Every structure is written in C-alpha cells, then in structure tokens.
Amino acid sequence: MANDSEPIVIMGAGLSGLAASIILAKGGKKVIVHDIRENSGARFDGDFQGLENWTTGTDFFEELREWGIDPDEFKSTDFHEVDLAHPDDTITKPWSSRVAFRVVERGSDEHTIDQGLKRLALKEGVEIKYKSRIKPQDCDIIAAGPKKTSAVAYGEVFKTSFPNHVTFQLNDKLAPGAYSYLIVIDGIGLICTCLWRQQSKSDRFLNETINWYEKNYPELDRIPIKRVGGKGDFAIHSSYKSNGRYYVGEAGGLQDFMWGFGMRYAITSGVFAAKDILGETDYEIEIKSKLLPKLKTSVVNRFLMNRIGDRGFKQVAKYWMRHQKKHGDGLLFMEKLYKWGIFRRFIFFFANLGMLKKTITKDGRKMRRMPFRNALKRDVWKPSERAIEIGDEWEKIKRKGGKISFTEDSDSKTIPDVVEASD
C-alpha cells in the first residue's frame, strides 16, 4: 500500500475504478488510474444497461449522492414498469411506485455513465492514463473488469420511433438459461439476448430473438445500426484484498449470478475499497457483510434457474404476478429474491459444490468461479425463415460498415491467469 506521499494507483478506468478514484481524491489522495483502452467506456459501444434498485432497500442514486457521486452527471431514465414476457408469450406488467431501475448508456459518448464518472474523477484532480499498461504488483486497486467468461450478452442497436420502453423476457430457447430484453430510449432501441450456456453461433439466438420482438411488438420499427455484446465473470473470492491489493467490480468476481446486473456492485465495491484506504472502513468486512450475502443469494437463484426450463420460468413469472397482486408492488418480489434466509443458506451448500469451480490464479488468489455451462441438446433448433432474413439483413449492413463490438476483454499480459482449477 502506498504511503501518504505516494499516489494510489488503480488498474482500470471503468465503473469500479473511477468510483474508487473519486472517493480517494475527495479524501485528499493523489490518484493515478491506468486503462489499456483509449477511453472510459470503450469496452462498450452505446449499449443500454439497467442500474438495479432492488438488492437493498435504499435507492441507489441516494447512495451515490451520500458518497458524493453526482448521478446527474450522466443521463439516466427512470422506469417504474416493464413488460414481462413469459415463455408462452403472455405479457404482464410488473410495476412499482418506486423507481424499479434506471437505464443508463455505456460507452464513450458524453452522456454515458462511464464518461459521467470520468468527468467527476477529473474534476477531483484524478490523473487518468489511457492506453497505459501497468503491472498488478504496481497497483493498489485492481478494477480491470471481467477476466474469464461465465456468460455473454449479444444485442443489436437500432433507430426506432417506438416510445421509451423496456421488455424483460424469460425464455430458455431464445436466451439459454436466462432472458432477453428490449430497451428503447429516445429513439434508440436495443434488443439483447443473454446466453448463460455456451453456444457456437450467438447470432442465431439474436436473430430469432429479434424475430420474436417483431412479432410481438408490430409497431416496433427498426433501422439496425450496430451489434454489441460482452461477457460477464462471476466468482466468489476467498479474499477481496490480496497481497495488499484491492479487487473491485468484476475483477473481484462481484457480479449478480442470477441476472448479470454488475454495475451497482462495481461502483459500490470501488467506494468501499477507497473508504478502506482512507481509514474509514474495512474493505473485506464491508464486502463480506454487505455484498457477499446478496451475491450468495444470486448464486442460489442461478443454481435453481439452471435446473428449470421454460416451464419453471413460467411458474416464476406467474408467482411474480401473484406476489404483486397480493402486496401491491412488483419490486417487493425482486427484493425477496435477494433475501439471504435459511432456505437459501441451505441450498447454497449444494450450489457452491455443484455449480462453482475451485480456482487458483497464478498469483495465488483462491476463488470459486462459475464456469460457462455447456450447451444442452435443446439449444439445437432450426432457425425460422424470418430469423434467417434478419441475419442476412445484418450481413448487408455489416458489409456497408455496420460495426460489431463484442470484444475479448481478457488481457492475459497483465492480469494473471488461472493456473489451477479443480473440484
């Protein structure tokens, strides 16, 4: 750890690294952040992502303001209601009187959350060095995002005249083991499918998913612009501070195993690490008492989700709606899913053994990772004619310059790889 006269060095100018840098600079520390990419958010390309508001009873923007991170620095759109598409194509509407989640944009455009946090960091005097490679042993905080792959998401961004909207679809065929979504914000849409089982051709799933949205939302016009995507790295580390270094965000495996909502964990863990360095809290204790119970709950939920197909998803959707009718607010069901009660503690024992793999990195860090599951027999199906057409249309757009930004995020040169994985 740097002494008081030395700067705090952070690897990664994404959400967790920037959040940490803002708190540290506000606390009077000199901070230098290194990022291998050319800008914050460059890992993404205008993807919409949801900032969840259900894992704690506190509104996340209130938390941000308490920490001195101004959420008005980036564009966000509040949602109280979504369309929930059941596996049998029934559509119902979970809603909440509170803000259920906020949609933000990722990338390097001015209004993205990445650039908002970057501006706040620069305002506090943080020095950010882009296209800069640094060794982990020269860093105090590792905030380099995902390393390995536990799941992927793949989507298409398009222009549309459809009003602002979010659909969340539970469907094991179109999104193996997971869900797909449609997000429209101010004339730009994103249809994305999440693959929690490894597939050789993700395009097939995206094209069929787009076909589903075309059929079920006939007013949804679409002029495709680009395709986007990325991966998630989910793990439970035995220690979050190792060899004097803090592992934050997805570099620390801090991701929601159930849905992949990792942004809140990333920012929160960055703040906790900074507060430890400032002598205000203990990082390990904060993570293990505040974030780990949620993470473990999401491990259990993921373990159960892996065991059910569309029939199970339908039961989940029906139960959600019954719960909303009884309690008058759909967000309460989501909050209930993250309660670390006796049932989940019991199942966690089996989930940990059955789903997570013991992993040791070259620098000796121990964790239990969620490997990318193999495809199942039911993942092989014949694409519809319209899905093939959608794929062909995209190929034409690609030839005219349509971009695909599905980047390999691993940087094996600087982040030590796994040397041992057993069970």
- 167 has which bridge partners? 83, 182
User: Binding ligand FAD by CB under 6 A: which of 37, 226, 227, 245?
Assistant: 37
The smaller minimum CB distance to ligand FAD, of residues 154 and 347, is found at 154
Is 291 a binding residue for ligand FAD by CB under 6 A? The answer is: no
Determine the Cα–Cα distance for residues 248 and 241; give it in Å rounded to an integer.
Answer: 9
Rule CB under 6 A: is residue 250 a binding residue for ligand FAD? yes
| Residue 367 binding ligand FAD, by CB under 6 A | no
**Residue number with CB closer to ligand FAD (124 or 388):** 124
Residue 244: CB atoms within 10 Å: 10
When asked if residue 190 is in the footprint of ligand FAD (CB under 6 A), the reply is: no
Q: Which amino acid is at 213?
A: Y
HEC string of 157-195 equals EEECCCCCEEEEEECCCCCCCCEEEEEEECCEEEEEEEE
Give the footprint of ligand FAD on residues 266-285 (CB under 6 A): 266
Query: For residue 421, what are the β-bridge partners?
Result: 359
> Considering the rule CB under 6 A, would residue 258 count as an interface residue with ligand FAD?
no
In the set 21, 35, 115, 246, which binds ligand FAD (CB under 6 A)?
A: 35
Based on the shown chain and the rule CB under 6 A, indicate whether residue 14 belongs to the binding site for ligand FAD: yes
b/e sequence 77-96, b meaning 16+ C-beta within 10 Å: bebeebbbbbbeeeebebbb
Q: What are the phi and psi torsion angles at 247 (to 5°)? A: -105, 115
Q: Which stretch binds ligand FAD (CB under 6 A): 200-208, 213-221, 254-262, 346-354?
A: 254-262
User: x/- site string to ligand FAD, residues 207 to 236, per CB under 6 A?
Assistant: ----------------------xxxx----
Which residue number, 40 or 180, has a Cβ lying nearer to ligand FAD? 40
Nearer to ligand FAD, 126 or 347 (CB): 126
Whole-number CA gyration radius for the chain: 21
Whole-angstrom distance, CA of residue 103 vs CA of residue 92: 20
Per CB under 6 A, the segment of 48-56, 166-174, 338-346, 359-367 that binds ligand FAD is 48-56
Tell me if 414 contacts ligand FAD by CB under 6 A.
yes
Contact mark string toward ligand FAD, 382..411, x via CB under 6 A? -----------------------------x
3-state secondary structure of 253: coil
15 binds ligand FAD (CB under 6 A): yes
Choices 41-49, 204-212, 381-389, 390-398; region in contact with ligand FAD by CB under 6 A: 41-49
What type of residue is 94? P
Question: CB of 181: closest distance to ligand FAD in angstroms?
Answer: 8
User: Under the criterion CB under 6 A, does residue 13 sit at the interface with ligand FAD?
Assistant: yes
* Beta carbon nearer to ligand FAD, 82 or 347: 82
**Is the CB of 46 or the CB of 330 nearer to ligand FAD?**
46
Q: Contact 302/371 with Cβ under 8 angstroms?
A: no
Side-chain-facing half-sphere of 145: CA atoms under 13 Å:
25
Of 290, 267, 256, the C-alpha closest to 66 is 267
3-state secondary structure of 168: strand
| Buried-exposed string 28-67: b where 16+ CB fall within 10 A, e elsewhere | ebbbbbbbbbebbbbbbbbbbbbbbbbbbeeebbebbeeb
Q: Which residue is nearest to ligand FAD (CB)?
A: 14
Q: Is 144 in the site for ligand FAD (CB under 6 A)?
A: yes
Cα dihedral across residues 108, 113, 114, 118: positive or negative: positive
- In the complex with ligand FAD, the residue whose CB is nearer, 37 or 294, is 37
C-alpha to C-alpha distances, 56 to 62, 84, 266, 291, nearest whole angstrom:
12, 22, 15, 10
- If binding is defined by CB under 6 A, does position 94 make contact with ligand FAD? no
Q: Which residues bind ligand FAD (CB under 6 A)?
A: 11-17, 34-37, 40, 43, 47, 49-51, 143-145, 153, 229-232, 249-251, 255, 260-264, 266, 411, 414-415
